[in-house]
Amino acid sequence: MLHKLPSFLFLALFTLQSCSAQPQQDINKDAFNLIEKWMEAQRDYQNLPGISAAIVKDQEIIWSKAYGIASDNVNASPSTLYSICSISKLFTSVAIMQLYDAGKLRLDDEVKSVLPSFNIKQQYENSGPITIRSLLTHSSGLPREADAPYWTGPDFPFPTKEEINSKLGGQETLYPASTYFQYSNLGMSLLGDVIEEISGIPYEEYVEKNILQPLRLASTHPYMSKEQWGKELAIGYGAMKRDRTRDKVELFDAKGITAAAGYSSNVEDLGRFASWQFRLLEKGGTELIKSSTLKEMQRVQWVDPDWGVHWGLGFVVSQSDGTTLVSHGGSCPGYRTTLQMDPKNKMAYTVMINAGGESPEKFAKGLRLIMNKVPKDMKSKKSSVNLETYAGRYSAQPWGSETVVVPWYGDLAIMGLPTDNPDDAMTLFQHVKGDTFRRIRDDKTLGEEVTFEKEAGKVIKMWRNSNFSMRLD
């Protein structure tokens, strides 16, 4: 039975919703401004064709932007598609755990009991069994790749499922099972075969019907579309050469390696994929898989003997600056991507680059470090001057490339660009008088001065330690 709310209570609820729905863009305005200046500089100085990125807070993509080009005639955008390569393994892992939840397989089932074609040569007679779990944690002892030169250009001849299986008997294990971590595209590809064998339908059809469509990931698919290449799908480029140019990389079809490396997606869809995980872990119950199953996937399941590698069921589990991250990266011909999640704080960062030889992980870390510097108390102090007056780029030559000045929650932030570590490169300055600011030390006392020189009311120079830098824009 429905009851009408008293008018005062309705008003209170409306006010509460309005306050709680305060746009993240307003709350994080200064952080997003600095992020955009930093990202743009990194893209330019690293000569990247294009880069798309997004930040997720729980169920909302609070920031997304792109820089550069997807192809010669198309600018990159947050909706631009990229090969996500090994992030594909996360969808394969979820599919395996769906079958686990349905009671159709056990993690400690031997692979050969599920796949009759699994006839790789075990060269260690005292080895334990190669199991579903060991494939998910890359501890099976299998070699990294199937027996085919599919990472070799310019054609990248990926093998079919039949070609992989026809040569499997000629390969042998590298280590006894459950002894060392050995990243294996072969192992994850075989999990695609497991999904087909148990479900009775093709791998691609299974993941579309049981994962991608239910999560409404309309831009994520287990293939690279030739029709979209150079338009919605970014063209990939190789690593930078000595002359600072990059060669275009031909489109590839992962074929039998699809379960390990064949998906395309964009930062917005991977953001939604992260939100699903935050939602399931918080609310419990079942959404595609049980919340307890997802929790188990994100728990450390394998630790290498040197304690340097920690792996869940499909996920990388690591720590950075005291924060536990659950993640996966991807590296395919012409593309580098990453998805990093902070489940405790329900934050996620995803970055996609259409170029080889780069580190999207550094970009994701930079995004996280900048967001971590946002004051916890959002009652920002007010400045007695218009901080935008001083904002802009300043020359740092010949010592550095450039310096950027931006408002930062009532103070000024000054950062040298480019930088892989915006946390270390960022210094805060507090207004003291006129056009003069002083550095805020870690103990909150004030240090050296920075003074801005104006001409006709516009800032033209920044003075530090009796030396000046010219304003560039």
**Position 171: which residue type?**
Q
Nearest to 199 by CA among 90, 289, 114, 117: 114
CATH number at 410 reads 2.40.128
Integer Cα distance of 450 and 466 in angstroms? 9
Helix/strand/coil for 165: helix
- The reply to whether 295 and 412 lie within a common domain is no
DSSP category for residue 344:
T
- The reply to whether 347 and 386 lie within a common domain is no
Query: Residue 170 domain-assigned?
Result: yes
- The reply to whether 226 and 147 lie within a common domain is yes
Query: Residue 188 domain-assigned?
Result: yes
| Domain end position, chosen among 357, 391, 412 | 357
Query: Residue 8 domain-assigned?
Result: no
The pLDDT score that the predictor gives to residue 252 is: 98
Integer Cα distance of 339 and 87 in angstroms? 8
The pLDDT score that the predictor gives to residue 40 is: 97
Query: Residue 402 domain-assigned?
Result: yes
Query: Residue 61 domain-assigned?
Result: no
The pLDDT score that the predictor gives to residue 19 is: 34
Q: Judge contact between 86 and 328, C-beta under 8 A.
A: yes
Query: Residue 236 domain-assigned?
Result: yes
Q: What is the pLDDT of residues 49-80, one digit of tens each?
A: 999 999 999 999 999 999 999 999 899 999 99
- The reply to whether 167 and 258 lie within a common domain is yes
Q: Return the half-sphere exposure (C-beta side, CA atoms, 13 A cut-off) of residue 374.
A: 19
Helix/strand/coil for 110: strand
Angle between helices 185-199 and 88-101 (to 10 degrees): 40
- The reply to whether 246 and 391 lie within a common domain is no
Between CA 196 and CA 207, with CA 202 as vertex, the angle to 5 degrees is 90
- In the chain, DSSP finds a helix count (H) and a strand count (E) of 14, 23
- Residue 81 forms beta bridges with which residues? 233
- The reply to whether 397 and 343 lie within a common domain is no
- The reply to whether 209 and 272 lie within a common domain is yes
Can you give the length of the chain in residues? 473
DSSP letters of 52-107? EEEEEETTEEEEEEEEEEEETTEE--TT-BEEEETTHHHHHHHHHHHHHHTTS--T
Cα dihedral 192/193/198/200 (nearest 10): 100
- The reply to whether 349 and 451 lie within a common domain is no
Enter the pTM of the model.
0.92
Q: Judge contact between 128 and 176, C-beta under 8 A.
A: yes
Q: Which domain holds residue 465?
A: 380-473
- The reply to whether 101 and 247 lie within a common domain is yes
Helix %, strand %, coil % for the chain, to 5? 30, 30, 40
- The reply to whether 260 and 313 lie within a common domain is yes
Query: Residue 400 domain-assigned?
Result: yes
- The reply to whether 156 and 252 lie within a common domain is yes
Nearest to 195 by CA among 287, 271, 88: 88
Nearest to 206 by CA among 193, 219, 187: 193
**Position 218: which residue type?**
A
CATH number at 301 reads 3.40.710.10
Q: How many domains does the chain have?
A: 2
Q: Which two tokens stand for residue 224?
A: 């690279």
Q: Judge contact between 433 and 451, C-beta under 8 A.
A: no
- Predicted confidence pLDDT, tens digits, the chain (473 residues): 333 333 333 333 333 333 333 455 578 999 999 999 999 999 999 999 999 999 999 999 999 999 999 999 899 999 999 999 999 999 999 999 999 999 999 999 999 999 999 999 999 999 999 999 999 999 999 999 999 999 999 999 999 999 999 999 999 999 999 999 999 999 999 999 999 999 999 999 999 999 999 999 999 999 999 999 999 999 999 999 999 999 999 999 999 999 999 999 999 999 999 999 999 999 999 999 999 999 999 999 999 999 999 999 999 999 998 899 999 999 999 999 999 999 999 999 999 999 999 999 999 999 999 999 999 875 657 888 999 999 999 999 999 999 999 999 999 999 999 999 999 999 999 999 999 999 999 999 999 999 999 999 999 999 999 999 999 99
The pLDDT score that the predictor gives to residue 179 is: 97
Residues 6+ apart with CB under 8 A from 441: 447
**Position 409: which residue type?**
Y
- The reply to whether 309 and 395 lie within a common domain is no
| Domain end position, chosen among 295, 326, 357 | 357
Query: Residue 76 domain-assigned?
Result: no
Q: What is the pLDDT of residues 405-435, one digit of tens each?
A: 999 999 999 999 999 999 999 999 999 999 9
